[in-house]
Amino acid sequence: MKFYLRLIVVGVVISSNAAFAQTSNSTNSPNIVFIASDDLNDWIGVLKGHPQVKTPNIDRLANRGTLFTNAHAQAPLCNPSRVSILTGLRPTTTGIYGLAPRHREVDRTTDVVTLPQYFAQNGYRTLSTGKIFHGGITPEERATEFQKWGPDGGHNPRPATKLMTAPLDMVNNPLIDWGVYPVEHDSVMDDYKVASWAVEQLNEIGKEESANPFFLAVGFNKPHVPLYATQKWFDLYPTDEVILPMAPYGDRADVPDFAWNLHWYLPEPRLSWVIENKEWENKVRAYLATISFMDAQVGRVLDALDANNLTENTIIVFWSDHGYHLGEKGITGKNSLWERSTHVPLIFAGPGVTVGAKSSQPAELLDIYPTLLDLAGLTENVEVEGISLMPQLEVAEAPRARPAITTHNPGNNAVRTERWRYIKYADGSEELYDHYRDAAEWSNLAQLAEYSDVKAELAKWLPTESAPHAVGSKHRILYQKDGVWYWEDEPIVLDKLVK
């Protein structure tokens, strides 16, 4: 019965969207181009996260609009972060903390109106290509979330055997690989194909004399692993010149042991492994190369907007779903509540956005949904939990009403203000960092009595309730049962910790 009811809902959504498109012709409404990157931390030129990174296209977009220098993901993991962005709801509301389930499989979000659906209901035609939702789009999602779909994108092509052959220290996942992909032209890469489809759509739209506004979502996979790019992108970063991140030995000496539980047993190797196997420079170089390759694809989309005279009436937002460690705090990958894993690029450009501005106010990816509605002049969706960033898009340093909150499994939360990062774990242990004095988060102040008032003030922003794991949750899931903590259904035994 539930299956048939869902089919009915699908039909209603399609019919209502089609009817709206036929009766609405809001040619003065701004278009929306919604560009996503995967696993991109603050290593872009304008954020100065790495001194060597070359991202001229993302940088030019930032210079055309407003850059949020203190933006953070709701979750340091792809699926819960993307669900939050697209539904406007926190993981603590949906119960989606892991790589599964999908949002339409959860009672709380079965019937939620996602961001593209909201625009479709308001007369926009919606198009998507690449990774916007978390991969593997279901037939139901394909029928309801967007009206037109391009290539799914992904991790392809891949060589017959991995380029990096050393056995990993935990999970030997085939995606954990990096190196030069042995072809001459980028056109074989999935992200290139995603950009090509987006360019084709913009070229077609540019030929139309009159049309409804569009919402075009373009999701790039890089710099997600495997870190493959063609030789020319690696040539930007010669091996013997690569600058490694600062990762001082013993940095975790003042960090609670419970922090290991959030990234207990993963495909991503530890810093100790990349050092021992002489792969640290190689991985950092490959990460930089794939960022520059992805940046070039962003540039192709921006150029197509310009070539078709669409830029002037188009809102562009660029974001990444979460950050990524390259050795900091002894790990590579995401799955932490530290700055390296939560801090992301967030850029808005277009009509209504101040040009060449930077805001250091704490922002959340959750805020994208209500902000785009404001920029498009659409009625507020009262169901979403984010706060519009319009005040900061008008005056960059206009104060924001609350800090940014990141969650990784129930009970583990980080609060980020302009100055402070406060982390409280599910076992009650804490971390506190003063970003005015310690941007790298090397000195945990949580145990010092003189900071008790600061902690108390920040703790007021912690979620008072956290939805339990949604039915069907799996992959990167942490929970407690009968006093024992479990990682992906295996009991955590500290003596087995891989450091």
- Give the integer Cα–Cα distance in Å for 296 and 305: 14
Give, for 128, the enclosing helix (H) or strand (E): strand 125-130
H or E element at residue 432: strand 430-434
442, β-bridge pairs: none
- Assess whether the previous peptide bond of 399 is cis (omega < 30° from 0): no
Mean pLDDT of 378-401: 97
Residues 6 or more apart from 123 whose CB is under 8 A from it?
20, 21, 23, 24, 25, 26, 29, 212, 213
Dihedral (CA of 393, 394, 395, 400) sign: negative
410: pLDDT strictly greater than 50: yes
Predicted pLDDT at 7: 39
| pLDDT above 80: residue 210 | no
Residue 293 makes CB contacts below 8 A (sequence gap 6+) with 186, 189, 191, 222, 229, 230, 233
The predicted pLDDT at position 2 comes to 39
CATH topology of domain 20-496: Alkaline Phosphatase, subunit A (3.40.720)
The SS3 of residue 444 is: coil
pLDDT at 27: 59
The span from the CA of 214 to the CA of 208, in Å, is 12
Percentages of the chain per state (helix, strand, coil), in multiples of 5: 35, 15, 45
**What is residue 471's three-state secondary structure?**
coil
Q: What is the pLDDT of residue 285?
A: 98
d(CA 262, CA 336): 6
**pLDDT at 276 exceeding the cut of 50:** yes
For residue 271, pLDDT over 60 is answered with: yes
Per-residue pLDDT band for 135 (boundaries 50, 70, 90) equals confident
- The DSSP secondary-structure symbol of 383 reads T
Say what the pLDDT of residue 388 is. 98
3-state helix/strand/coil string of 220-268: CCCCCCCEEECHHHHCCCCHHHCCCCCCCCCHHHHCCHHHHHHHCCCCC
Give the pLDDT confidence of 146-202 residue by residue, as tens digits. Answer: 999 999 999 988 999 999 999 999 999 999 999 999 998 999 999 999 999 999 999
Cis peptide before 167 (omega within 30 of 0): no
> Cα separation of 433 and 445, whole Å?
6
Euclidean distance between CA atoms 178 and 163, whole angstroms? 6
Q: How far is CA 256 from CA 215, 237, 476, in A?
A: 44, 36, 19
Evaluate whether 80 touches 97 at the Cβ level (below 8 Å). Answer: yes
Structure confidence by residue, pLDDT tens digits, 13-32: 443 343 333 334 355 899 99
* Model pTM score: 0.94
Domain boundaries, the chain: 20-496
Task: Find the mean pLDDT for residues 395-413.
Answer: 97
Per the CB < 8 A criterion, the answer to whether 326 and 283 are in contact is yes
- Any residues with CB less than 8 A from the CB of 238 and at least 6 apart, and which? none
Average pLDDT of span 46-63: 98
Mean pLDDT for 95-119 is 97
Whether 3 shows a pLDDT value over 60: the answer reads no
d(CA 170, CA 414): 26
Distances in Å between the Cα of 366 and the Cα atoms of 3, 353, 404, 471 are 30, 18, 9, 23
For residue 334, what is the enclosing H or E element?
Answer: none
Angstrom distance (rounded) from CA 341 to CA 423 = 13
Q: Is the dihedral of CA 278, 280, 285, 290 positive or negative?
A: positive
Give the pairing of strands 314-320 and 31-37. parallel
DSSP state of 16: H
pLDDT of residue 18: 38
| Tens digit of each residue's pLDDT (9 = 90 or more) over 318-353 | 999 999 999 999 999 999 999 999 999 999 999 999
Please state, in angstroms and rounded to a whole number, the distance separating the CA atoms of residues 235 and 14: 47
CB 178 within 8 A of CB 283: yes
Burial readout 156-188 (b: 16 or more C-beta within 10 A, e: otherwise): eeeeeebbbeeebbbeeeeebbbbbbeeeebee
Q: Is the pLDDT of residue 11 over 90?
A: no
362 within 8 A of 72, measured Cβ to Cβ: yes
How large a percentage of the chain has pLDDT more than 90? 92
At 280, give phi and psi (nearest 5°). -65, -55
d(CA 405, CA 417) in angstroms, rounded, equals 9
Q: What would the two tokens of residue 50 be?
A: 């790495």
* CA dist., res. 433 & res. 421, Å (int): 5
Cis peptide leading into residue 410 (ω within 30°):
no
Q: Where does the pLDDT of residue 211 fall: very low under 50, low under 70, confident under 90, or very high at 90 and above?
A: confident
Residue 91: which H helix or E strand, with range?
helix 91-94
On the CB side of 8, CA atoms within 13 Å amount to 5
The residues annotated as belonging to the active site are 78, 134
Report CA torsion sign: 256, 257, 261, 263. Answer: positive
Q: Is the confidence at residue 125, as pLDDT, over 90?
A: yes
Check: CB of residue 346 under 8 Å from CB of residue 44: no
